[in-house]
Amino acid sequence: MTLCAPVAGDSVSGLGTGGMGTKLQAADVACRAGIDTIIAAGSRPGVIGDVMEGISVGTRFHAQESPLENRKRWIFGAPPAGEITVDAGATQAILERGSSLLPKGIKTITGNFSRGEVIRIRSLEGRDIAHGVSRYNSDALRRIAGQHSQQIDAILGYEYGPVAVHRDDMIIR
């Protein structure tokens, strides 16, 4: 796909946003994240139904083979929506043992982000140690920071598991 992008132009119809180059870039990102992608004419009646039935209606790009590795690449390349600073114990657990980040090790949260967004994880010294997908939004993390995982449900009234960032959703920097 990257070979096609330089010759693909911008939108000239005035109907869409971006041109073919933008569509190819989006398809490339999706494929690297493990998602099959089809570029088709959205103005064609029934196009989505045809795609779902397997009818050829455009150009198909196949996902890369390993969705887990593609997900890790996405985490690595995504701009962080916020930042968490962790204590020395959490830093050591992440860097030396490949552990998940527990709320107990969180010292501060910077920025406002949603559950499922990529965040930066920093040591107390300001070192960028990892990027990961947050299991909780920034407001929830502020409430459970420094607390034991067993207290999450009592504090929030719900829980998405005992970790703030799971090791499978984390890239060491």
**pLDDT tens-digit series, residues 7-34:** 444 545 555 566 888 888 888 877 776 7
Report helix, strand or coil for 1. coil
Right CATH for 73-172 from 3.90.440.10, 3.40.50.2300, 2.30.130.10, 2.60.120.460: 2.30.130.10
Q: Which whole number is the average pLDDT over 151-167?
A: 98
Does 128 score more than 70 pLDDT? yes
32-47 pLDDT tens trace = 767 888 898 888 898 8
Backbone angles phi, psi at 44, to 5 degrees: -75, 125
Taking the alpha carbons at both ends of the chain, their separation in whole angstroms is 28
Q: Which residue has the higher pLDDT, 126 or 24?
A: 126
Does position 3 have pLDDT exceeding 70, yes or no?
Answer: no
Q: Which of 104, 160, 158, 101 is nearest to 129 (CA)?
A: 101
pLDDT over threshold 50, residue 53: yes
pLDDT of residue 29: 78
In which residue are the tokens 């997908």 written? 133
- Region 107-121 average pLDDT: 98
Return the percentage of the chain with pLDDT > 70, whole number: 86
pLDDT of residue 87: 98
CB 116 within 8 A of CB 134: yes
Kindly report, residue by residue over 78-105, the tens digit of the pLDDT. 999 999 999 999 999 999 999 999 999 9
Structural domain spans, the chain:
5-65, 73-172
CA–CA separation, 152 and 141 (whole Å): 10
Q: What is the mean predicted confidence (pLDDT) over 47-60?
A: 88
pLDDT for residue 26: 85
**Selected residue with higher pLDDT from 40 and 106:** 106
Cβ contact 94:101 at 8 Å: yes
Q: How far apart are CA 121 and CA 26, in angstroms?
A: 27
